[in-house]
Every structure is written in C-alpha cells, then in structure tokens.
Amino acid sequence: MSDLAAYGSLFLAALIAATLLPAQSEALLTALLLGGAQPAVLLVAVASLGNVLGSVINWLIGRGLERFAKKRWFPASASQLARARRFYSRYGHWSLLFAWLPVIGDPLTLAAGILREPLWRFLILVSIGKVARYSLLAAAVLAWI
C-alpha cells in the first residue's frame, strides 16, 4: 500500500468512526503500525485529525438540530433537553475529554453542538482525548512488537 493510500484510508476510517456511522479505525491503525512502512507519529496524527474532524461533523449536526427541538418528531423531549443542559452545565465541556469512548463519545459530540459548546473549546478538549487515545494505542502496539 502506498503512503498516500495508507494515510488516506486511515484518515477516512477515523473520520467515519467519529461520526454516528458505525466504523472502526483502531484495527487499521494497528495494521499500519505493525507494517512499519509509515512513521508512527504521522499515523497517530492522521488518525487523530480524521477523528477530530468526524467529531466536528457531529457538532455541526447538533448545531443544526437545535432548531428542530420543539418539533414533535425530535428524539428528545423538552425535559430531557433541560436535564442534558443541567448535566452539561455541570460536567459538560470536561466530558468532551471522553469523546473517544465507544457508544457515548458520538452522542457527546452531538450534544455539545445542540447545547452550543463553543467550537474552540470543543476542538481543544476533543483533540486532547483523541490524540491521547491514538497515542496510547500506538504505544501499546509498538511495545508489543
């Protein structure tokens, strides 16, 4: 696999994995690390960038969904939104450090958009969590080989 194909595939896998679509980027990152053809630091950077941009897509969707909150078909009631706002005002932006977690990470980034988390803070916190996750995975794989 050429470097461009490797980086492009990893970026796309990480981007899709961070959206609400079901996907996984860890297996591809692991395979590329085991292959040893690309520098680990660059692979971590590409995976992190793709994953953060996927989270930004969720944030943007959340920002757009906010205008539909009063519609009957909206998936959350007014009381659920109020509870989410209370939770988010208490733990909110710090919870974005866990946006990398399976199952809860994607909804967290969507909720951040709905609840109008500033993009600059969103980017900082989500980036810290995602870079840490891919760095730990890379360190574990490289320590194993």
**Structure token pair of residue 119:** 């993009």
For the ranges 23-32, 56-65, 86-95, 99-108, which has the lowest average pLDDT?
86-95
Domain count of the fold of the chain: 1
**Structure token pair of residue 36:** 């040893």
SS3 labels along 85-132: HHHHHHHHHHHHHHCCCCCCHHHHHHHHHHCCCCHHHHHHHHHHHHHH
For 9-20, write each residue's pLDDT tens digit.
Answer: 999 999 999 998
59 versus 72: which is more confidently predicted? 59
CA triple 108-111-58, angle to 5 deg:
80
Residue 71 has a pLDDT of 81
For 89-124, write each residue's pLDDT tens digit.
Answer: 787 789 999 999 988 888 889 889 988 999 999 999
Residue 96 has a pLDDT of 95
Arithmetic mean of pLDDT, 79-96? 82
Q: Is the separation of the CB atoms in 127 and 16 below 8 Å?
A: no
Which residues constitute the domain of residue 78?
3-144
Whether the pLDDT of residue 125 is over 90: the answer is yes
Spatial separation of the C-alpha atoms in residues 116 and 113, rounded to whole Å: 5
Residue 102 has a pLDDT of 83
CA-closest candidate to residue 136, choices 3, 4, 29: 29
